[in-house]
Amino acid sequence: MRLRRYVSPFYLKLMGFGAADVDHDLAAKVRNRGRKLSGADVSHLLQMHWRPQVMGAWYAIAARDPLLSTAVHDSLETSLGHLTSPPLITAALAYPNDRTTALLHDYIQTDLEQQWGAAGFAAAAALSRLEPSREQDLRAGSLPPVSTEDIELLDKLVLFGRALQSD
Does the pLDDT of residue 108 top 70, yes or no?
A: yes
Q: How far apart are CA 62 and CA 69, in angstroms?
A: 13
- For the segment 41-89, what is each residue's pLDDT rounded down to a tens digit? 999 999 999 999 999 999 999 999 999 999 999 999 999 889 999 999 9
- The sign of the torsion formed by the CA atoms of 58, 64, 70, 71 equals negative
Residue 146 is classified by DSSP as P
Whole-angstrom Cα Rg for the chain: 15
Q: How far apart are CA 63 and CA 52, in angstroms?
A: 16
pLDDT at 151: 87
3 state SS of 97: coil
pLDDT at 23: 87
In 3D, which of 138, 52, 48, 120 has the Cα closest to residue 87? 52
pLDDT at 138: 52
In 3D, which of 40, 83, 78 has the Cα closest to residue 59? 40
3 state SS of 143: coil
Helix H or strand E segment including 52? helix 50-63
In 3D, which of 32, 18, 6 has the Cα closest to residue 90? 18
- For the segment 38-47, what is each residue's pLDDT rounded down to a tens digit? 999 999 999 9
pLDDT at 117: 83
pTM of the model: 0.91
Domain spans of the chain?
Answer: 4-165
pLDDT winner (highest mean) among 9-23, 112-126, 137-151: 9-23
Does the pLDDT of residue 147 top 90, yes or no?
A: no
